[in-house]
Amino acid sequence: MNRTENIKQLQSQSYDLLVIGGGITGAGIALDAASRGLKVALVEKNDFAFGTSSRSTKLIHGGLRYLKQLEFGLVKEVGSERAVVHKLAPHLVVPEKMLLPLYEKRGLGSLLTSIGLKLYDWLAGVKPEDQRRMLTRSQTLKQEPLLNPEDVKGGAIYAEYRTDDARLTIELIKTGAQHGACVANYCQVEEFVYRDGKIAGVKVKDHLANLSFPIKSNVVVSATGPWVDELRTINRSKKEKRLHLTKGVHLVVRHHKFPVHQAIYFDVEDGRMIFAIPRGEITYVGTTDTNYQGSIDEVYTSKEDAEYLVKAVNRTFPEVKLTIRDIESSWAGLRPLIHEEGKSASELSRKDEIFESDTGLISIAGGKLTGYRKMAERVVDLVIEKYFDDVESPCQTENIPFTGSDFKTYKQVKEYIDSVAKRLAENGLTAKAPYLVHNYGKQTDLILNHWQQKKHHTIEELAKSELWFCVEREMVVQPADFFVRRTGLLYFNRPLLETLLEPLMTELRTIFQWTEKQLADEVAKLNTEITKSHKF
């Protein structure tokens, strides 16, 4: 993806469909429409996956909590969709068994949990070998010894899938680009362009070049998540229904501080369900669900958010004794839900909804990471029905693998990890193989080929090759694009981030020919992100 060339194309050509928003939903819409033959453009005012799509619990899950809300259709849809996404990107969507402890004094009993999980397995189409397994008290404590033995009365194991939401989004963006979509980050829609009272395009500002230009398009779709109502306001179509934003926070601690044996889903006193998920040398915990009315461009973890999750962990795992000082990093994101009078944040539906304005703006809000493909299909079906009735191609995305995903099964992913590990073994970097493959799939070969052409085969030089790949192939233009959304280093490997920060910033300066002042400004911006992630 060449951003300079794409900006020129956006300025000079007309499009069938312009998608505003480079999160998972916008990326899904762009791929769906482009694969059906429409001429598609996509613009994002920040980096791809900047908002909600890089700040989730990083699970492609089947919506177990929606059973409590009796949203059986939603459970069925997202349950079946996670199997599709696993098939399309098995290196990115990885099976994860989840432990659900049962307690004496709170939550559902064993019978209701067993029935609920059985229903969940059926609705979500879970394979027989992955279907729920009920545990006795002793089996549950053996599975997770950190649980409070005085409180636990049993448990269950059920199936989930782990992912990296930002990586999933960027690979989807790249797949859409391979099918002809013209994409650009850091291009903000300033206003809509109208012809005869109908939207005929937009005016965008390229924040990197500090210039504005129009983009012509027959149809415009807003898939901007928490920013949907801002664009509806610009379009003067924010009427009746509106968004209800809630904040979800996740904390990251060293795994030795919270050494859970496996992913676990536990409830707390107020009835909220919390995940604790081990990931290499860290464990992350989340999420909260609180009403949010602050800036949607600056969303961070508050001390109150952190204390809530620390308390939840210590109540369920009394030997852990977490403190605020143990938090290595955190992230906070917004859920763009549809407002319903009288309902609390946790009670609001996660269903998506499409809004159409009199001037032709189509907006989609709500929904979940797992359901992005079906959300995209509904939007593109509507666009074709209303504006391109000569296009007869149905949705094809169920059979379009993501870039880097030349795998048929997860077994092939593990075999490829072994082959990458052998390439790295000579230099003592075998442990990097799972990280590289889960992030980049078969594209790992491109990174390693570039690295092996270097004089020194160190971890620093490997990181520079990874940076080269992300600049050349993934439109990285600012440090946070790489350290936060392409690699997750800021969240998941702070010690390595601190080691690599100076050499990689120097490398970025060389790539983009920054002046000394520009380098200092970029370092300051990144340091602000680092500080806000762990100081409350």
Asked if pLDDT for residue 212 goes beyond 90, the answer is: yes
CA angle 334, 335, 340 (to 5 degrees): 130
Backbone φ and ψ for 256, nearest 5 degrees, come out as -70, -20
The whole-chain average pLDDT of the chain stands at: 92
Q: How many CB atoms sit inside 10 A of residue 120's CB?
A: 23
Q: Which of 273, 377, 264, 267 is nearest to 63 (CA)?
A: 273
Handedness of CA 284, 289, 294, 297 (dihedral sign): positive
Q: How confident is the model at residue 172 (pLDDT cuts 50, 70, 90)?
A: very high
Whether 7 contacts 209, CB under 8 Å: yes
What contacts 195, CB < 8 A, 6 or more positions away?
none
- Identify any residues that bridge with 198 across adjacent strands, giving them in sequence order: 195
For 257-303, the pLDDT digits (tens) are: 999 999 999 888 777 889 999 998 999 998 898 999 899 999 999 99
Among 49-53, 104-108, 161-165, 355-359, whose mean pLDDT is lowest? 104-108
**Which pair of structure tokens corresponds to residue 40?**
């598609």
Give the mean pLDDT of 328-347.
79
Asked if pLDDT for residue 252 goes beyond 90, the answer is: yes
For 110-159, the pLDDT digits (tens) are: 777 788 788 878 877 778 888 889 999 999 999 999 998 888 999 999 88
Pairing between strand 327-338 and 290-291? unpaired
Give the mean pLDDT of 47-61.
93
| Predicted pLDDT of residue 339 | 78
Asked if pLDDT for residue 71 goes beyond 80, the answer is: no
* Burial group, residue 511, by CB count within 10 angstroms (0-12, 13-18, 19+): middle
| Predicted pLDDT of residue 346 | 61
**Nearest-angstrom CA–CA distance, 125 and 132:** 12
Whether 368 contacts 59, CB under 8 Å: no
Give the mean pLDDT of 382-386.
96
How many helices (H) and strands (E) in the chain?
A: 17, 17
| Predicted pLDDT of residue 341 | 63
Higher pLDDT, 105 or 167: 167
End-to-end CA distance of the chain: 37
Q: Which CATH superfamily is domain 244-338 in?
A: D-Amino Acid Oxidase, subunit A, domain 2 (3.30.9.10)
**What is the enclosing helix (H) or strand (E) of 216?**
strand 211-222
Higher pLDDT, 299 or 341: 299
Which contacts of 444-449 are long-range, i.e. CB under 8 A and separated by 24 or more positions? 444/404, 444/416, 444/420, 446/473, 448/420, 448/423, 448/424
Whether 179 contacts 35, CB under 8 Å: yes
- Identify any residues that bridge with 252 across adjacent strands, giving them in sequence order: 284, 329
**Nearest-angstrom CA–CA distance, 489 and 133:** 35
Pairing between strand 282-286 and 273-279? antiparallel
The domain made up of 410-532 is a member of CATH 1.10.10.60: no
Higher pLDDT, 283 or 76: 283
Q: Which of 49, 164, 22, 20 is nearest to 481 (CA)?
A: 49
**Nearest-angstrom CA–CA distance, 226 and 244:** 9
Q: Kindly provide the residue ranges of all beta strands, DSSP E only, lying in 7-151, ordered along the sequence.
A: 14-20, 40-43, 94-103, 133-135
Distance of CA 297 to the CA centre of its chain: 17
For 421-475, the pLDDT digits (tens) are: 999 999 999 999 999 999 999 999 999 999 999 999 999 999 999 999 999 999 9
Percent of the chain scoring above 70 in pLDDT: 95
| Predicted pLDDT of residue 109 | 67
Among 96-105, 254-263, 473-482, whose mean pLDDT is lowest? 96-105
| Predicted pLDDT of residue 95 | 85
Whether 175 contacts 39, CB under 8 Å: no
| Predicted pLDDT of residue 108 | 62
| Predicted pLDDT of residue 33 | 98
| Predicted pLDDT of residue 465 | 98
Pairing between strand 362-365 and 211-222? parallel
Asked if pLDDT for residue 213 goes beyond 60, the answer is: yes
Domain ranges of the chain: 3-53+166-242+349-399, 244-338, 410-532
Q: What is the CATH number of domain 3-53+166-242+349-399?
A: 3.50.50.60
